[in-house]
Chains A and B, each alone.
Chain A
């Protein structure tokens, strides 16, 4: 379980995140949505201290995140990066194995685990010796998620892991990921600016604006009682798109 209390981050006079508090139950997926600059990525990075909070506290499974060495904390949390963040000089297999190597796994177990993860994310075994630059965008994203899951973390942070993919690939990957995280019982925080994606994947949604958490709840709760007009419009976007699309199809001569 993740407990975020009064989290804030300032850069000089600029307040990037201001007094954000929420809890994510074990096995739950919280999606943080909001526009660019709303503070969702900064909030995510404060959970594993890629960004040090200026205020507030993060507690993971009862332990204060600030009391642990940052690299130790990060090894216990899977992290899938916006823009993938694979190491360009390492092969697919080596990229996936990085967290295992850091954790000091023996070589044979490492190889077996890499095979298992590739299978889990439906990646072709033939890719293991390829370098990231030789993969398609979708394959890279999958390798990124595989790496985040490698050391079997109980908590996982994802920052737009399915951005910049073609719609079909994205759809398939979202489905695969959803099944996987439910099966593994992962506690997850998921940042996206795509409301439809949040509605599909999240148990609960947190809406952020200008560094603040404006509203948090299940998709149904937020849809029924939006905090304000903007939240209402934001949550309604996918449905509005659907209606426009439907009306276009009907009006075809």
Chain B
């Protein structure tokens, strides 16, 4: 808990920076756009419609879509920029819609009076329309404020730190204290910002200078704090090594192991950026936005290289993957950790016993009566097609859920079969039976540390430090580490330190 709270200034300040910047940009874009569409009627449909369409995109998808979009434009695809742009887009609709409604709601008799006393269009806008629309516009800004604070927690998977780091890490490592910390902090921030914005808005509406000043000073103090925490000077002259990680327990632990190893053995500062989507992490490495992360040969083989799963040996796959990465992206395999984390099909022991299931071939005969649970990506991966082809599996029902919930689902009998990860500590903990892939439809999944071409070229000391991990973690070891976090409630950082001791 105290470890979680120690991260609060970092996450909260990042969250505040992201939220305030996005809101400011949202107001600066949406209010003029609202004014414009009330002047040029033909624009109202398209503009308000577009903002509405953006709003219907699920928040997480909107952020995720920024990643390839920005990369395509040659801009940093992970980090603060995609999160910022996604949040700005999301904040537009409530502000735009309320600006239009506020301006439309001004009594036509008052508008005529404004023209009648000899105001120009501009004078009428500034002296009559905007002041009268203000309460409605302010309500839109308040809606946007609360939305933006909430949605900013989703910027963790695109690589922008936020209070969402508590939530995502907590969800993956089954740490409810962490999740609650993130939720409570985000809710408090939303209420606080809403309160300050309301002070400014009602102050303007009631023309009470004290209230306006109170709200503005509050916002300014918050902003000043957030930016001073965020832009602290880095401790070393050299740029810190950025270690990436995907969204499951093992990745949190391995990222910490890499970072701690780089610090202690290469003497370089290292930062950890976990919670990245699977292909987000790879793309980020290709572009040098992260320097190191752990991936799996089978994943690279099927998802990145798009090769069909052939019954190839671990060694051959590792060899081919290494060569392909080197020649296509200049990425180096810095170490093979020594364990596999393969997709595998697992069932409860009682299911295995009663149906006499030991292999996927036997599973295919019973699949029509069973429910399969899997993570978000499996059904769209090459491995699934390969398994379907090899065994002709047709389940009664297929359900997709967060990887961390798969084990709870099978334990609670909500599904009968799950796609598990072979290094997961919970396979043993829940006494699940892993079914044999006798036709080799699923490729081998050696855990390998990938290094960006720059780190490989410029930082031999980092490469050497990482190489020292080669073969150091076998499957039993990894399962233990995962269990320390998932079952014993250790933080990823502490588990990593324990391993390296």
Contact = CB atoms under 8 A, between A and B. Distances in A.
Interface of A: 48, 50, 70-76, 79, 81, 83, 85-89, 98-99, 102, 147
Interface of B: 107, 109-110, 112-120, 123, 127-128, 131-132
List 8 A-B pairs, minimum CB-CB distance, nearest first.
Answer: A85-B113, A75-B118, A74-B118, A79-B116, A71-B118, A89-B131, A71-B120, A99-B117
Contacts of B109: 81, 83, 85
Nearest to B131: A89
B115 A50 contact: yes
Given A87-B128, A88-B132, A89-B132, A74 B116 contact: yes
A88 B113 CA distance: 11
Contacts of B117: 74-75, 79, 98-99, 102, 147
A74 to B, nearest CB: 4
B118 A50 contact: no
Nearest to A91: B207
B112 A50 contact: yes
11 contacts: A50-B112, A50-B115, A71-B119, A71-B123, A72-B118, A74-B117, A79-B117, A83-B109, A85-B110, A87-B110, A98-B117
Contacts of B132: 88-89
Given A87-B110, A88-B110, A81 B116 contact: yes
A87 B114 contact: yes
Contacts of A99: 117-118
B150 to A, nearest CB: 33
Contacts of B127: 98
B209 to A, nearest CB: 15
Contacts, number: 51
A218 to B, nearest CB: 29
Contact of A48 (B110, B116, B128, B131): B116
Contact of B112 (A73, A85, A86): A85
Given A88-B132, A89-B131, A89-B132, A81 B120 contact: no
Nearest to B123: A102
Which of A72, A98, A99 has the most chain B CB atoms inside 10 A of its CB?
A98
Nearest to B107: A88
A56 B90 CA distance: 53
Given A74-B115, A102-B118, 18 more contacts: A48-B116, A71-B119, A71-B120, A72-B118, A73-B118, A74-B117, A76-B118, A81-B113, A83-B109, A85-B109, A85-B112, A87-B128, A88-B107, A88-B110, A98-B117, A99-B118, A102-B123, A147-B117
Contacts of A88: 107, 110, 132
A86 B112 CA distance: 10
Which of A75, A79, A87 has the most chain B CB atoms inside 10 A of its CB?
A87
B107 to A, nearest CB: 8
B120 A85 contact: no
A48 B116 CA distance: 8
Contacts of B110: 85, 87-88
Contacts of A87: 110, 113-114, 128
B49 to A, nearest CB: 30
Which of B112, B113, B114, B120 has the most chain A CB atoms inside 10 A of its CB?
B113
Contacts of B119: 71, 102
A161 B123 CA distance: 25
Nearest to A82: B109
Nearest to B134: A89
Given A88-B132, A89-B131, A102-B123, A81 B112 contact: yes
A87 B106 CA distance: 11
Which of B107, B109, B117 has the most chain A CB atoms inside 10 A of its CB?
B117
A151 to B, nearest CB: 9
B415 to A, nearest CB: 61
Which of B115, B118, B127, B131 has the most chain A CB atoms inside 10 A of its CB?
B118
Contacts of A71: 115, 118-120, 123
Nearest to A48: B116
A81 B115 CA distance: 11
A85 B118 contact: no
A86 B110 CA distance: 7
A74 B112 CA distance: 12
Nearest to B114: A87
A85 B116 contact: yes
Contacts of A76: 118
Nearest to A102: B118
Contacts of B112: 50, 81, 85
B116 A50 contact: yes
B378 to A, nearest CB: 59
A136 to B, nearest CB: 19
B256 to A, nearest CB: 58
A157 to B, nearest CB: 9
A87 B127 CA distance: 10
Nearest to A76: B118
A85 B106 CA distance: 12
Contacts of A73: 118
B206 to A, nearest CB: 10
A74 B115 CA distance: 8
A72 B120 CA distance: 9
A86 B119 CA distance: 14
B116 to A, nearest CB: 4
Contacts of B131: 89
A79 B107 CA distance: 18
Contacts of B116: 48, 50, 74, 79, 81, 85
B389 to A, nearest CB: 70
Contacts of B114: 87
B268 to A, nearest CB: 60
Contacts of B113: 81, 85-87
Nearest to B135: A89
B205 to A, nearest CB: 8
Nearest to A81: B113
A41 to B, nearest CB: 11
A189 B39 CA distance: 32
A98 to B, nearest CB: 5
Contacts of B107: 88
A87 B117 CA distance: 11
A115 to B, nearest CB: 20
A81 B113 CA distance: 7
B337 to A, nearest CB: 68
Nearest to A144: B113
B228 to A, nearest CB: 38
A160 to B, nearest CB: 13
A50 B118 CA distance: 10
Contacts of A102: 117-119, 123
A142 B118 CA distance: 20
B103 to A, nearest CB: 14
